[in-house]
Amino acid sequence: MRLFNSLTRRVEDVVPLEAEHVTMYACGPTVYRYAHLGNLRSFMLYDLIRRALQFEGLQVTEIMNITDVGHMTDESSVEAVDKMQLAMEDEGLTPAEIAEKYTAAVFDDATALGIRPADRYPKATEHIQEMIDLTAILIDKGHAYVVDSGSVYYDVASFEGYGKLSGNTLENLREGHRDLETDPQKRHPADFALWKAAGPGRLMKWPSPWGEGFPGWHIECSAMSMKYLGERFDIHTGGTDLRFPHHEDEIAQSEGAVGHEVVSIWIHAGHLRQSGQKIAKSTGNVILVRDLVERGFDPLSFRWLCFQTQYRSEMDFTWDAMATADQRVKQLRHRMAEWKPGASELDASATAFDARFREALADDLAMPTAVVIVNELVSSKEVLDAQKYALLASWDFVLGLDLERDATAGWEPTAEMRALVTERDAARAAKDFATSDRIRDALGAMGLEVMDTAEGTKIRPRD
């Protein structure tokens, strides 16, 4: 498997630190509003990386954080307003209720889009101590300083590699920050908060050695990634907008604290636009999963639409393209129902198709090529129908389109469901009940009844 590393700006082989086992940290949702299709495109990329690696036979451990504090509008201002606090005031709910509501919503969206659960979802609010500890280490090592207000800033000039991910070196930044309102106590305008003193009226705050306050957003990902994956791990992913300052600052924090490289490969998902416009709350063109459902589309068809654009490229969403993708996915399921299963082994012509599909995946997830291969296979006159069925059923492990839905209307679990059952049984065997419960919920959301038996997990459609 080869992936584009944003840090080296090259396509590189994925060489896991531990043989056959890839460790991956994914920047997760901020849970004070619904995730839009642009956010979900990024989450689908994390899932696609994982599926593709597993398809190659590798084991993957994926951690995705839940940002339920500290994601501020302006990191540098003392009066910075936390968006969580704003949502709370708008909706008349407590911070915990806001977080719970939108965390549940994003899990539902992920399930609807065929995004498999990560192994763990640490919450920022449950790791305040880890963030305080890391901040204290950075102060000790001379990478951070406390100001009179009780805020702690990272001293960007103390970290030699600052700017290596985004190209925003200190020289470039001095220009860009000229107009920004900043805390006059900062040594450099680009210094960012590790810990913020709680201003008046602040509800989400914690005690710390520097007084009551709350963590900056970036420190959360350094603290939680290293807690769960260690001081070296393989892949870190996020949307392209997180490259700077979020990931640049994370590198400064993590590497400043441990003194060496932490992440091998940084991967960033491209932006999603709608009919040429940036998708943002301010432009009023936010599309949610439920908008797809309301228009009669299967949310899984959004996957097929995304596959037509390389993951790093900007993608333009139009409702026409969505309609075409939806039609195609339904057609593929219908064709599979006509073909019927039956091939026990792939013949030469099917094997050639399989090799091309796997090569496309391995080539930095060239999904537009994979789409062409699927289309060629469907219309191929050389490959027997039962062989086509076997190939698509196997590829659906990565595509996640529930392609056997019509064929198995009788009913048989899909490849996806079988994979989840296997994962759940493994989690139960390892006494990881949090994961096992989460997978049970994911199966439940697919309309299945989940039963625990002596032979392990059994599923059947709910009446």
* Interface with Zn ion (CB under 5 A): 27, 221
Least distance from Zn ion to the Cβ atom of residue 275, Å: 29
Least distance from Zn ion to the Cβ atom of residue 93, Å: 24
Helices (H), 380-458: 385-399, 415-429, 433-445
CA 290 to chain centre: 19
Three-state DSSP state, 274: strand
The nearer residue to Zn ion, 151 or 254, going by C-beta atoms, is 254
Q: What are 88's two structure tokens? A: 């709370």
- H/E run at residue 436: helix 433-445
The nearer residue to Zn ion, 246 or 335, going by C-beta atoms, is 246
- Determine the straight-line distance between the first and last CA of the chain, rounded to whole angstroms: 42
The nearer residue to Zn ion, 132 or 221, going by C-beta atoms, is 221
The nearer residue to Zn ion, 29 or 270, going by C-beta atoms, is 29
- Residue 42, amino acid: S
The nearer residue to Zn ion, 36 or 243, going by C-beta atoms, is 243
Least distance from Zn ion to the Cβ atom of residue 209, Å: 24
Least distance from Zn ion to the Cβ atom of residue 69, Å: 13
Least distance from Zn ion to the Cβ atom of residue 238, Å: 6
Which residues are 451's β-sheet partners? 458
Least distance from Zn ion to the Cβ atom of residue 229, Å: 13
- Residue 152, amino acid: V
The nearer residue to Zn ion, 221 or 229, going by C-beta atoms, is 221
Q: Which positions ≥6 away from 410 have C-beta within 8 Å?
A: none
Task: Report DSSP state, residue 245.
Answer: I
Task: Count the helices and strands in the chain (H runs, E runs).
Answer: 15, 15
The nearer residue to Zn ion, 27 or 257, going by C-beta atoms, is 27
Degrees (nearest 5) of the Cα angle 126, 16, 428? 50
Q: Which positions ≥6 away from 187 have C-beta within 8 Å?
A: 145, 153, 155, 157
Least distance from Zn ion to the Cβ atom of residue 27, Å: 3
